[in-house]
Structure 1
Amino acid sequence: MALIDRPVVHPDRKVVGFRPVKALRHFGKLVADKEDTEQVFHIIDALKGKKSLRQMEGFVATSEAQTLLERNEELPAILDDHARWTECAPNSLARNYVRFMEREGLTAAGLVEESRKFKPESELFHDLYEWYVERLRDTHDLFHVLTGYGRDPLGEVSLLGFSYEQNHSPGVLFIAYMGTRQVRKESGTNAPVFEALREGRKLGREAKKLAHQDLMALMPRDIDEVRAELNLGEPRIYKECLRQLEAENYEGLVVEGVGEKAAA
């Protein structure tokens, strides 16, 4: 079935399921074993909500979304084709993205692989809701590049705050606050980490919906122009926290990679 002909929501899909006790149990497992990032998917699943579904339904009805559906782009393959972007200007979004991914040793395909550990291909519903969720997953690292949040623990949780205001997944907000609490607890820092998270939420509310954009048209453009067009503010409190954490010699990686798993 062509992508544009898929149902908006498969009749067998259960979107609602708010189970905070289960979410807390899985967060406890994540804290006990920081490498067990499968717990992130369980948290997201335990805290589903209808707001993101309504947003998806509104988006797929737009002409912009219809154009994206007709293109049927495989975002991970396109984003991982770094040679595709070599002719772009040094300060383009594309070149900034490539530098970020190569520096961090990341691939868009790797994030897809991680998500399939939680939900294999055979369990997917192949509806437009699935397409939308996967688009949020595939654009996570572009969010990092566009917003200026790093992959350090505070950068990940602050970006989750930003992402919640963009996409309205209660599980993402839960991980953002619990992760920030864990950063403060394990570091003992006096840096305003919760203010950094709240700043991320504010920036997310003010910005245009990043995942709703024609990303392939934005990639060759100057990143500063793209940020201005999308109304992306600078995370000043986050950057000040990083300076303070560095001064305190904090090197703990409490929630490394959690943001990427939550996006998936």
Structure 2
Amino acid sequence: MTNHAQYSQMHASDGTVVRHPDRPQPRYSLPRAIKNFGLLMKDKEDTSLVFKIYESLPSRNFMPRVKEFGLSERGEFLRRTEPSLPEILDDHAELRKTPKGSLAHAYCDFMESEGLSAAGLVAESERLGRNKYDDLVQWYSERSRDTHDLFHVLTGYGRDALGEQCVLLFTHGQSPSQGHLLIGYAGAANIKKMVWGSKAPVMGAVRQAKATGRGAPALLEQPIRELLKQPVDEVRRALNIPQPTMYNECHRIWREEGIDPYNLLASESSSEPVAA
């Protein structure tokens, strides 16, 4: 098995090292992850806690993925043509020049309606004050972060509580990590508690999301600039991303039960779970 020291000896064709020798060794700590998850449940707007959870549960398959993709012909091409996704994704004026119905238009509509930006997600991750290193790990990690909102658009999962858990489990299907599992499944269990008595298949929805992510090619390994120009439905077909039927069913059932899917979090201000 390749160790971290050996990764520091591997270079891309332009000389960029796979893992910078000064990059700190990841330290696995389940207690620290659980502590930060508890804090996240109290303040779900503090997305810096999400990054702390990921850091506490490093995946042993992460470095092999970075090496395999980063040193591949496709990886080298994407580093040359898409060195920074936020610059591409936040240029809505340029993205709007693509044909109507494109992934770019769907992405702009989503981000503008939610008041989001790729730069905003960058700022949240940088609140941790982590050092940056000139290596493939930095590029791969940032590319994974910057495709998060594209996942929302392509999968059809919204930014409601269940939608976020589904995106996390979809991401786990793409790039397995205990952090995604912890937040995704624990978050789903918390939702079930909040809407106690509801018939909505919450766990079925997140399991479907995980299976969808596993069955789709890794989005971060795709040419994002080119995908943005294509019709969004064609991109979904090409990436084998079906309709989120279980998630949609949860929303349908909740509305029938008088529960607003986008106001589930408000119920936590009460000491009692919402009864369907």
Pairwise same-fold verdict (TM > 0.5)? yes
Shift of 1:80: 0.7
Q: Give structure 1 regions of 4+ aligned residues with deviation exceeding 6 angstroms.
A: none
Please give the secondary structure, in 1, of the residue aligned with 2:229. coil
Contact 1:29–1:39 (Cα < 8 Å) also in 2? yes
User: Cα RMSD (Å) of the superposition?
Assistant: 1.8
Shift of 1:169: 2.1
Matches of 2:97 and 2:46, distance apart in 1: 39
Matches of 1:4 and 1:246, distance apart in 2: 54
Task: Indicate yes or no: 2:47 matched with 1:41.
Answer: no
Count of residue pairs brought into register by the alignment: 251
| Structure 1 match to 2:247 | 238
Which residue of 217, 226, 234 corresponds with 2:235?
A: 226
Shift of 1:61: 2.0
Which residue of 64, 76, 84 corresponds with 2:74?
A: 64
The answer to which of 216-225 and 35-44 deviates more is 35-44
Please give the secondary structure, in 2, of the residue aligned with 1:219. helix
The answer to which of 46-55 and 102-111 deviates more is 46-55
Shift of 1:52: 2.2
- TM normalised by structure 2 equals 0.86
Task: Indicate yes or no: 2:114 matched with 1:101.
Answer: no
CA radius of gyration, larger in: 2
The one-letter amino acid of 1:142's match is: L
Shift of 1:195: 0.8
Task: Indicate yes or no: 2:194 matched with 1:191.
Answer: no
1:65-124 CA distance string (max 9 Å, x none)? 11112235321011111110222221111111111111111110111011110134xx11
Please give the secondary structure, in 1, of the residue aligned with 2:88. helix
The one-letter amino acid of 2:16's match is: R
The answer to which of 4-13 and 191-200 deviates more is 4-13
The one-letter amino acid of 1:113's match is: A
1:209-247 CA distance string (max 9 Å, x none)? 111000101111111111111111221111101111222
Contact 2:26–2:55 (Cα < 8 Å) also in 1? no
- TM normalised by structure 1 equals 0.89
| Structure 2 match to 1:204 | 213
Question: Percent identity at matched positions?
Answer: 42
Matches of 2:38 and 2:23, distance apart in 1: 28
The one-letter amino acid of 1:101's match is: M
Shift of 1:168: 1.6
Which residue of 208, 214, 218 corresponds with 2:223?
A: 214
Show the 5 A alignment for 1:124-135. 124-135=132-143
Please give the secondary structure, in 2, of the residue aligned with 1:168. coil
* Change in 2 beyond 3 A, CA 1:142/1:15: farther
The one-letter amino acid of 1:252's match is: L
